[in-house]
Amino acid sequence: MTSARSAMVLRLACVMAALGPIAWRAAHAQEFAGPQPAWPPLSSASLLEHGLPHAAGGLDASAFTTRWYGLPELVTRTVALGAGWRALRLGLGVSQTGEPDLGWTALALGAGAAGRSGGAGVRVVARRDRVSDFRFDAPPGAAGVEVGAGVWLEAGEGVRLWASAPQLETVGAAPPLRRSLAVGGALELGELRAWLIRRAVPGVERGLRGEHVAGAAIMGAPLGAWLEVEDQPLRGGFGVVARLAAWSVSGSVSSHPVLGETFRAGIAAGGGR
C-alpha cells in the first residue's frame, strides 16, 4: 500500500487544492450533516454528526446526499438509522464521499440519552479510503477514527443551550476537516425557532475569535423552512422541508462567496420536527 493511499488527508487535499485553504474553515459539517436546520436535532444524523441526541424516541431513518461547493466529484451519500427506547438513543450511519479512486467511506456509531429537557451523546466515526482492501491488520494511517460528544439542556422556558465537540480525540489518519468546540443557544416560540452558534476555529488566523452562525426557522406542518447566516466570510443559506405523516423530504442550499454552493437533499422517516 502506498503512502498516498494510506493517508486520506492527502486525498482530500487533492480535492481541496482547487478550493484553497479557506475551505477548511468554510465547512464545519461532515458526512452526517443532513438537510436540517442547525437546531433542534431532529434525527439520529444529529447524534452521528454532532453528538446531540434528539428528544423524540422511536425509530428513524434518513438518507441524503450532499454536493459540496458545486463539485460533482465531491458528493457525499449518507444513510443513517436510529432507535430510541425511553431515554436511550442509538444511531448507526454509513456514508461515501467522492469518486471511487479519490473518496472515502465513513462508518458512524452514536449513543446517548435524551429527554424533553436535555440530552447528551457520544459519537465515533471511522473512515478509510475507498481503494484500500479491507483488512483487520491494516497499517496505521490507513484508517482514521474520531470520537466526540455533545450535550444540550433546557436553560429556561423555550430556551435551549448546547455544545458539541465532535473531535475530542482523533486516532490514525486525520479527518477531512478539523472541527472544534461549538456552543449554541436557541429560542423556541411554538413553531418559530431562532438560534445563535459560536464555533472555535483553532489553527487559522483569528483562531479563537470564533465564527458565528445565526438562524431562524418556522417548522410547521406540512411545510417548514429555515434560514442561516454565517460570518467570516459573510454567507448564508436556506432550507425547506415537507412532511407527510412520518415521512419528510428536505433540501438546503448554503452559499459561499468564493467556494460556491453546497446542496443537500434527503428523505427521512420518523424522528422529531
Q: Can you give the binding site for other proteins, defined by CB under 8 A?
A: 113, 115, 117-120, 149, 151, 153-156, 161, 163, 165, 168-169, 180-181, 183, 198, 200, 202-203, 207-210
Q: Count Cβ atoms within 10 A of the Cβ of residue 157 and give its class: 0-12 exposed, 13-18 middle, 19 or more buried.
A: exposed
Q: Shortest approach of other proteins to residue 246 CB, angstroms?
A: 28
Our CB check for other proteins shows the closer of 183 and 227 to be 183
Burial of 140 (0-12, 13-18, 19+ CB in 10 A): exposed
Q: How far is the CB of 118 from other proteins (least distance, A)?
A: 4
- Give dist(CA 104, CA 132) in Å, integer: 10
Which of 7, 81, 2, 65 minimizes the C-alpha distance to 33? 65
Q: Given the complex with other proteins, which of 141 and 210 has the nearer CB atom?
A: 210
SS3 of residue 240 by DSSP: strand
Quick one: which of 39, 81, 53 has its CA closest to 269? 81
In whole angstroms, how close is the CB of 40 to other proteins at the nearest point? Answer: 15
Please report, for residues 152, 160, 180, 217, 227, the alpha-carbon distance to residue 13 in angstroms, rounded to integers and kept in the order given.
Answer: 33, 37, 19, 34, 30
CB of 50 to other proteins, least distance (A): 13
Closest to other proteins by CB, 104 or 162: 162
For other proteins, which is the closer residue by CB, 129 or 146?
146
Q: How far is residue 134 from each of residues 84, 117, 125, 167, 255, measured CA to CA in Å? A: 31, 42, 17, 24, 37
Nearer to other proteins by Cβ, of 26 and 165: the residue is 165
Q: Which is nearer to other proteins, 121 or 270 (CB)?
A: 121
Least spacing, CB of residue 208 vs other proteins, in Å = 4
- CA nearest to 90, candidates 135, 125, 44: 44
Compare residues 71 and 204 and give the one whose CB is closer to other proteins.
Answer: 204
Q: Look at residue 200 and give its three-state secondary structure.
A: coil
- State in angstroms the smallest separation of the CB of 114 from other proteins: 9
Structure letter (DSSP) for residue 142: S
Question: What amino acid is encoded at 98 in this protein?
Answer: G
Smallest gap from residue 100 Cβ to other proteins (A): 33
